[in-house]
Amino acid sequence: MELIKIFVFCSSPFLFSSISACQVQLPALRFLAVLCYQNEGVASTVGATQHEDPLTGEQRPLPQILVELLRRDQPIEIQLTLAKCLTNLCKANAIEPWDSSIVYLALPTLG
């Protein structure tokens, strides 16, 4: 659970301005992708994890945060690694395969 908190912190917009977001996000996303690869226990924990948005106070599931980060204005390495994370979550049964984030975002990014 602590590793997921570290990942969410690394993905937050409140990082130091001297470090680019890509330099921090990419290793964190790669780490998450490797953790979820063929590991149903970790993937189900990641899929069920809620994170409180510090600005609004609302709870959001971690897969939803990943989907929101999968934008075309992100560097291609970030997009591919996010798609890999979502695909690994799907393969480990943490996200349904017919989920719109898989069908319309992750697969076209990988294809």
Task: Give the Cα separation of 29 and 96 in Å (integer).
Answer: 20
Asked if pLDDT for residue 2 goes beyond 70, the answer is no
Q: What is the pLDDT of residue 100?
A: 80
pLDDT in tens, 10-42: 555 544 444 566 788 899 999 999 999 999 999
Task: Give the Cα separation of 54 and 71 in Å (integer).
Answer: 21
Q: What is the pLDDT of residue 33?
A: 93
pLDDT in tens, 51-104: 888 888 899 999 888 888 888 888 889 888 999 999 899 889 888 888 887 877
pTM: 0.76
DSSP states of 45-83 as a string?
HHHH-EEE-TTT--EEEHHHHHHHH--TTS-HHHHHHHH
Asked if pLDDT for residue 45 goes beyond 50, the answer is yes
Task: Give the Cα separation of 3 and 46 in Å (integer).
Answer: 10
